[in-house]
Amino acid sequence: MALLDKIPGELSIYIGGLFTVRRRVALEASGITHILSVLKLPLDQRLFEGFTHKVVEVDDVDDENLLEHFPACIRFIRDAVGSGGGVLVHCAMGKSRSATVVCAFLIQKYGITPDEALAQIREARPLCEPNDGFWQQLKLYHQMKAPNDVESTPTYQRWLYQREIELSRACGQAPEAEKIRFEDEHAVDGTPTDFELRCRKCRRSLATSQYLVEHQSRPTNALLTSCAHYFLDPLSWMRLELEQAKLDGRLECPKCKTNVGKYAWQGMQCSCGEWVVPAITLAKGRVDEVKVKTESGTSMGIRMPPPANGRRLAGGQEHL
């Protein structure tokens, strides 16, 4: 490991720590033209004179959102090497934040996995180790197919929503109304669905299989039973109840007002023994599972309340 380490390959991409930027002679000798600083510290701008410089202010903590900066960082690196220059990506120690950004670039550039990207970086700089939060973000970025626009990706939006839920839970509060993500308002046409759940009393459709939240049952235990509830994403017909900012409560069928389920933002234990957070459920004894042949839960013509802003789907279709 040197003062600055070149990532193996044909591109002039280097990784290092804050101390590296003070060695102008070494930077110039390596052909560095661009410097990407990934840290939240005061920087002496005189050190960057003569270089194209970009700063991404993030801390090296698990709950920091570095994922939202991946596209801009990748563009900066791509512009540097595309113009025939070299780029130094640095953080404080050249270990976590800088390694995460370079991993993201390699994932998009070569279509490799996070493990493969990190292994390539460690050939030059063995100490590189993204923190646990950044590592999960790299895995998510790979799962998303490394898009140029992260923030409009449904997977990213759902991840942000889960972060909000976790933050609210940690504070012992229900999420703010405007931050609740009603999944049927973000449905993608063509999503396969196997069945729908209907109120046993009035036959009103309440959900389709695409909105089920899977959870892993624990090993068989004679004292535990099979799942007694369907765990769901928030759906539009639940809006009036979920936006009351209560930590828990009951869910009524919007048509016949029969109690069909319950919710608990702090989570609840399924009868199978698994703890699910947050828990938004329909009781299996209050609904029927009915097979359907449609391709998407949004194409069944189900009468559902519109979202808060009054928008409706094309063709007169409404939300779950």
Residues with active-site annotation:
91
Taking residue 14's Cβ as centre, other Cβ atoms within 10 Å add up to 28
Give the position of tokens 């390694």: 99
Helix (H) or strand (E) holding 36: strand 32-38
First to last CA, the chain: 56
Find out whether 77 and 36 touch, Cβ atoms under 8 Å. Answer: yes
Q: Tokens for 29? A: 């000798």
Q: Tokens for 282? A: 């329909």
CA separation (Å) from 292 to 4, 154, 265, 314? Answer: 59, 25, 30, 21
Where do runs of H (alpha helix) occur along 30-130? 70-82, 97-110, 114-124
Give the position of tokens 């991993």: 103
CA separation (Å) from 185 to 139, 256, 290, 297? Answer: 26, 23, 22, 11
Residue 214 phi/psi, 5-degree rounding, is -75, 145
Residue type present at position 106: L
Q: Which residues pair with 54 in a beta bridge?
A: 36
| 94: DSSP letter | S
